[in-house]
Structure formats: structure tokens, C-alpha cells
Amino acid sequence: MTIQFRPDETYRDDYTYANSPECIARAPFPFPDDEYMYSMNLEPHVSVGDAALKAVFDIDEHYISECRDRAITLEKDPGMHYVSAPHMMEAQWDLLELIMESYANDYPEYFSLEKDGSRWHWTNKLLGIDDRFTFGDPATLPYEPMEYITRQAQGDWVLQEERDGTLYWGAGIATQRADYSLRFNLGMAWHEFHGPVPLVKETGMLDRALKFLLRLRCGHPVRRLNWSLTVNPRLDVSAESLPDWAPDRTTVTAENAGKLVYLRIELQPLHRLPRSNAIVFPIRTYLLNLEDIATNPAWAKRMHRVLKSLNQDLVDYKGFTRYRDAAVEWLSQFDDGRDEEVAKAG
């Protein structure tokens, strides 16, 4: 497939980020119903159609600019956005292999991987990378294996290790965080890092999701969609950078919400890794502002209904209490109140 990349767009300062009509249409719209409640919504991660769900790990027209923005964030706050426990090195190599093989198989015009025993040759034409290294020897790479390959990948990535009947955060790279701290979460167990999510304990969903993931097998990945809202197309809305982006939430009105309010869609394809038995938890983010959403009137109608009826605890948790009403009012122009079927996700 041929992708028309936008290498020079920005996700901070002047915010030149924009979506082509094709990029909007291929996004995995996260609302299958007119009402939303936080749920597992897991399904097999199999290739579907020719959009975001076709590849093992999706890339799109924003690939180059996102990788550049990641490098800026990592340089600005070294040690804050990439962390790994020392014992996670085997899982790091697992992840490097999975991403390289997936990219090379799904996008052979942009990536290639050649193996000669432990001597590997990786080419990334989009970023101008042509490296030879020894698999298993971190001294032959410029960064640790996980950081090396995820600097070349869209989305954030977390490695979870299984022990004592649960999952722990063992490593991660996160330059697109939605209001959480990677360093704070490192080492946390499953129920600890999901603890702030409203209503999941009462429904028993956390226990069910953990049991499901502990049974996840190599070669049988699953995926789920999550979402939140943000103001401006800013990727790094982490807890540490709160002073940089929190004031933007006060600038939204019913008149400008279409331009300023963005739906952050998170595609999360989870894989069990073969050597380490760790689980990789990617968080691939898509940013569509409400004007983008409105190019599909069925999406705009559904999103209006979801936001209008959303449980207030979830509104508070997802961080858009200040501008929920403005977004709902802006979207209301696309909802005629009729109940004909609305297009589903994807």
C-alpha cells in the first residue's frame, strides 16, 4: 500500500497536524452503540478490511511526524518517558522482533528485515535507518532494544510480566500518554494500575479481564478500543506535563469545539511474547477533531449521544468535565433525534 506521509506536521506549539479525508475514514471509530460504558470489548486481532485493522501494527500518514515528536519528547525529558526494569531485557528483544517482523511483512515497501543467525539487518526507509546488529546483544544497538524499535513505531508500548497470578508493568515507552505517569506505574500490579477506572471493580470486569489475559497464547493476539477527549492535537498529555496542556481546557466554547476538541482513539492489540512470556500492550493513538468526526454524519450523531449520556464518573475520569457541554452542544447540530442505525466502528 502507498501512504502519502505528512512528515512536517507538529503536535505542539503551532499545531499543524491535520488529517486527510482518507485518514479520517480509516480510523477505528470506537462507539458501536449510542451509549458507552467502560468494558473489556476484546476480540481476536485478525486482519480486517483495508484500514486500521488490517496490519498487525498499523501505520498511517502521520508515522514520520509522530516518530519525530517522540524524539523531541524523549530528548526534552530524558528518563521520564522510557523506563524498564533490568530483568525485562528478554521481553525487550521479543518486542523488537515482533515489531520488525510485522512492519517488514505488512509494509515491505518501507521496512525490511534480514536474518543470518543472530546477525540481523534492519532497514527503515521512512526514517533513513539502515542498521546491522546482533540479536541478543544490546551493545550492538544505540539504545536498549525496546527503546530502539519503539522510537520507530507509532503509539505507546507497555510490557507486562506475569508472576504471582497477575500482571505487572515491567517496561514502557510513553510519549503519548493520556494523563498518567509511566514512572509512577512501573512495577504496579494489574489491579493497582487499573484502580482509578470508575465502576470496573464493582462490575467484576478487572478480574474477568485479568483471567482472560493470563490465558492469552502466543500467536493469538487480541485487541480492544479505548478513547478519551483532549484539546488540540497534542500527543503528550501526561501527568508530568500537566502545566503545559491543562490551561487549554478552559479555552473551549460551543463555537470553537469543532476545531479544538479531539477524540483520542486508542487501538490496543495485545500479544503474548514467545521467549519471555510477557504481554505487550500497545496503545496506538488516532486523533480526530470534532470537525473530522462530522465528515461522517453518522459518527457525529452517535458521538453526540455518547457524550450527552456518558456517566459523570467517566467524564471526570477521562478529564473533560470542563468542556463536555461545549462538545455536546457543537455535536447536537448533527443529531436529528431519529433512531435509524448508525454506522458501527471501523
User: Would you state the cell numbers that stand for residue 177, as one nine-digit string?
Assistant: 500518554
- What is the C-alpha separation between 21 and 133, in angstroms, rounded? 39
- What is the C-alpha separation between 262 and 57, in angstroms, rounded? 22
Q: Which H helix or E strand runs over 172?
A: strand 166-173
Q: Catalytic residue, from 151, 208, 223, 224: name it.
A: 224
In the three-class reduction of DSSP (H, G, I as helix; E, B as strand; rest coil), residue 154 is classed as: coil
Contact indicator for 172, 182 with CB cutoff of 8 Å: yes
Q: Which of 165, 182, 158, 185 is nearest to 74 (CA)?
A: 182
- What is the C-alpha separation between 61 and 52, in angstroms, rounded? 12
User: Would you state the cell numbers that stand for residue 129, as one nine-digit string?
Assistant: 535507518
In the three-class reduction of DSSP (H, G, I as helix; E, B as strand; rest coil), residue 307 is classed as: helix
What is the separation of C-alpha 74 from the centre of its chain, rounded to a whole number of angstroms? 17
Catalytic residue status for 224: yes
DSSP notation for 249-300: GGG--TTTHHHHEEEEEEEEEEEE-TTT--EEEEEEEEEEEHHHHHTSHHHH
DSSP notation for 34-96: SS-------EE----TTSTTSSSS---TTHHHHHHHHHHHHHHSTTTSEEE-GGGHHHHHHHH
Number of Cβ within 10 Å of residue 78's Cβ equals 9
- What is the C-alpha separation between 58 and 286, in angstroms, rounded? 11
List, by residue number, the catalytic residues. 224
